[in-house]
C-alpha cells in the first residue's frame, strides 16, 4: 500500500511548552482532504503517541482532532518541569521530530 510521510502531508508540525509541566503538539494541514486522510487512517491516536514517545497513556493530557482548523493536537505531561535540572528542552520545541516520519496510507 502506498504511503506518505506525515511531514509531507502536514503544513506545520510543531511542539512547544504548555506551561512548565506540559508540552503541546500541533499537526496542522493546509487542505481538508489531507487532514481527513490522516484522521481517518488511524495512524495518529493516543496509542500511537504512547508508542512513539515511550510513555504511558496517563501522560497524555489531551488529544483532539480539531476539524475547524484541520488540526490534530495533543498535550503530554513532562517528565520534569521545564528548566529544571536535567531538562534537555526548556521550550519543548524539539519534541516533534518523531512525528515527521509517521507513514500514512494514501489509498
Q: What is the pLDDT along the chain (107 residues), one digit of tens a residue?
A: 899 999 999 999 999 999 999 999 999 999 999 999 999 999 999 999 999 999 999 999 999 999 999 999 999 999 999 999 999 899 999 999 999 999 999 97
Q: Which three cell numbers stand for residue 35?
A: 487532514
Answer yes or no: pTM beyond 0.75: yes
Q: Which three cell numbers stand for residue 12?
A: 506545520
Q: What percent of the chain has pLDDT over 70?
A: 100
> Closest by alpha carbon to 26, among 11, 5, 48?
11
Q: What's the chain's length in residues?
A: 107
Residue 37, phi then psi, degrees to nearest 5: -60, -50
Amino acid at each position: 500500500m502506498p504511503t506518505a510521510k506525515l511531514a509531507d502531508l502536514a503544513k506545520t508540525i510543531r511542539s512547544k511548552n504548555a506551561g512548565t509541566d506540559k508540552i503541546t503538539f500541533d499537526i496542522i494541514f493546509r487542505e481538508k482532504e489531507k487532514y481527513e486522510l490522516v484522521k481517518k487512517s488511524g495512524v495518529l491516536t493516543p496509542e500511537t503517541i504512547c508508542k512513539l514517545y515511550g510513555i504511558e497513556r496517563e501522560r497524555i493530557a489531551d488529544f483532539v482532532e480539531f476539524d475547524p482548523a484541520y488540526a490534530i493536537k495533543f498535550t503530554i505531561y513532562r517528565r520534569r518541569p521545564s528548566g529544571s535540572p536535567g531538562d534537555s528542552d526548556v521550550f519543548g520545541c524539539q519534541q516533534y521530530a518523531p512525528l515527521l516520519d509517521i507513514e500514512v496510507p494514501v489509498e
